[in-house]
């Protein structure tokens, strides 16, 4: 079983750059996407309901903003799309699909930077992390859980190309890193880092200017975190920097199931 995650930075734009081809070429069973930035009715029929796939969308209330989705080969046995807290659910940041005992959550964690790059959204970001943590801690008691998505946080200096220059930048603030570390300390497994300990240069997001991607000056902020029961099933964890179409690249895991 293969589960893949990708922040597409606008599904309509990504579709014009080959999203449907990626969907097939990925050989995935479940694909979580973030930053859909469209209502379902705004998507082309082939993107909204690709042949051979089931799709679940969780849009933001605001047009052209945020939104997540899950594409799956099988129909989920249950779907949830919120935390029952309006200030979070209005932004369309969560979709959870259950496939028998396995749950897959596609999550677009908030950025901490405001429009003026002043880190004013950090408290909101940390509150979202905490609310989702409580929800997932309860969910993992029912069976294996994978939490895939754009976490908007690089946890360790190895996870970004220029850590010293970003200590006051949202995404690498001490309080953001500490919150993600709290998840790891609670037993959630960073599947890629567990299989590639100490390996630098693996990033999932690059700025769209200055040749950042070509120079590999990036951040690893997209993860597949696994509950202990799910982590035992992980056979491989990967990053696909060769896949274009967004300023992020896909990440994923292969599971024995």
Helices 122-139 and 174-185, packing angle to 10 deg: 0
Nearest to 224 by CA among 84, 17, 27, 32: 32
Whether 5 contacts 250, CB under 8 Å: yes
Beta partners for residue 193, in sequence order: none
Six-digit token string for 5: 């995650």
Give the active site residues.
Answer: 150
Cα angle 231, 237, 241; round to 5: 150
- Three-class DSSP category at 217: coil
Residue 158's CB is within 10 A of a number of other CB atoms, namely: 17
The vertex-104 CA angle with 138 and 102, nearest 5°, equals: 75
């Amino acid at each position: 079983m293969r589960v893949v995650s990708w922040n597409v930075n606008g599904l309509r734009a990504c579709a014009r750059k080959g999203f449907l081809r990626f969907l097939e070429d990925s050989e995935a069973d479940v694909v979580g996407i973030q930053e859909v930035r469209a209502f379902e009715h705004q998507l082309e029929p082939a993107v909204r309901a690709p042949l051979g796939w089931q799709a679940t969308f969780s849009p933001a209330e605001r047009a052209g903003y945020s939104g997540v989705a899950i594409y799956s080969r099988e129909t989920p046995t249950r779907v949830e799309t919120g935390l029952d807290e309006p200030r979070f659910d209005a932004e369309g940041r969560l979709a959870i699909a259950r496939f028998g005992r396995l749950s897959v959550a596609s999550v677009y964690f908030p950025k901490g930077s405001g429009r003026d790059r002043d880190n004013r959204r950090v408290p909101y970001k940390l509150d979202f992390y905490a609310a989702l943590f409580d929800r997932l801690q309860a969910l993992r008691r029912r069976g294996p859980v994978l939490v895939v998505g754009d976490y908007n946080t690089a946890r360790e200096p190895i996870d970004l190309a220029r850590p010293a220059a970003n200590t006051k930048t949202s995404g690498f603030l001490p309080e953001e890193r500490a919150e993600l570390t709290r998840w790891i300390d609670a037993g959630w497994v960073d599947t890629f880092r567990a299989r590639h300990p100490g390996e630098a240069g693996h990033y999932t997001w690059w700025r769209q200017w200055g040749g950042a991607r070509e120079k590999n000056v990036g951040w690893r902020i997209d993860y597949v975190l696994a509950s202990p029961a799910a982590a035992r099933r992980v056979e491989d964890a990967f990053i696909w920097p060769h896949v274009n179409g967004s300023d992020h690249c896909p990440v994923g895991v292969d599971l024995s199931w």
